[in-house]
Amino acid sequence: MRAWAMGLGLTALMAATTACGKKEENRAEADRAAAKAGFVPPSVTSRVDFGGMMARRFRELDRDGNDIITHEEMPSTNSRLWELDRNKDGEITESEFFEGMLARFDRMDLNRDGTVTSEEREASRTERPTAPSNPVATGAGAGASAGAPGNAN
């Protein structure tokens, strides 16, 4: 999808030509244009969108393009991505990556409607091992989860 990017470039260009000299306004205008053009990530992510995002992510990580993320290609040794390495062979294949990521998505999709809203994402961030039926919308739980859940096997 490049259409919006082009539109964005055009509006930014127009803003630049009309408001020459006023740099702050110029930037604010560009920001607004960006927001209007959908630059801000949507608060609702469908499973398909998510899949697309993950495909891009995988391509970024898989630098040599052999459809496997190896140790050297990992952003960090303690990356959460290692949870995706189901057979623990130190490599993450494309299917491990996608199945793991979609499982994550499904875990975030609390009401199982195939989309994850920003609320659901927040809820899963403050996720508690017990009491899944209690959507924690009250003040952020503050603090990263200490006891990493989701250690299957």
By the criterion CB under 5 A, which residues form the site for Ca ion?
A: 62, 64, 66, 68, 85, 87, 89, 91, 109, 111, 113, 115
Which of 11, 55, 66, 69 is CA-nearest to residue 35?
11
Q: How far is the CB of 108 from Ca ion (least distance, A)?
A: 8
Q: How far is the CB of 51 from Ca ion (least distance, A)?
A: 15
Instruction: Decide whether 17 or 151 has the Cβ nearer to Ca ion.
Output: 151
Neighbour count for residue 151 (Cβ, 10 Å): 7
Cα-to-chain-centroid distance, residue 38:
16
Instruction: Decide whether 16 or 74 has the Cβ nearer to Ca ion.
Output: 74
Q: Which residues pair with 115 in a beta bridge?
A: 46
> Which H or E run contains 44?
strand 44-46
Instruction: Decide whether 24 or 72 has the Cβ nearer to Ca ion.
Output: 72
3-state secondary structure (DSSP) of residue 101: helix
Instruction: Decide whether 142 or 152 has the Cβ nearer to Ca ion.
Output: 152
Q: How far is the CB of 54 from Ca ion (least distance, A)?
A: 16
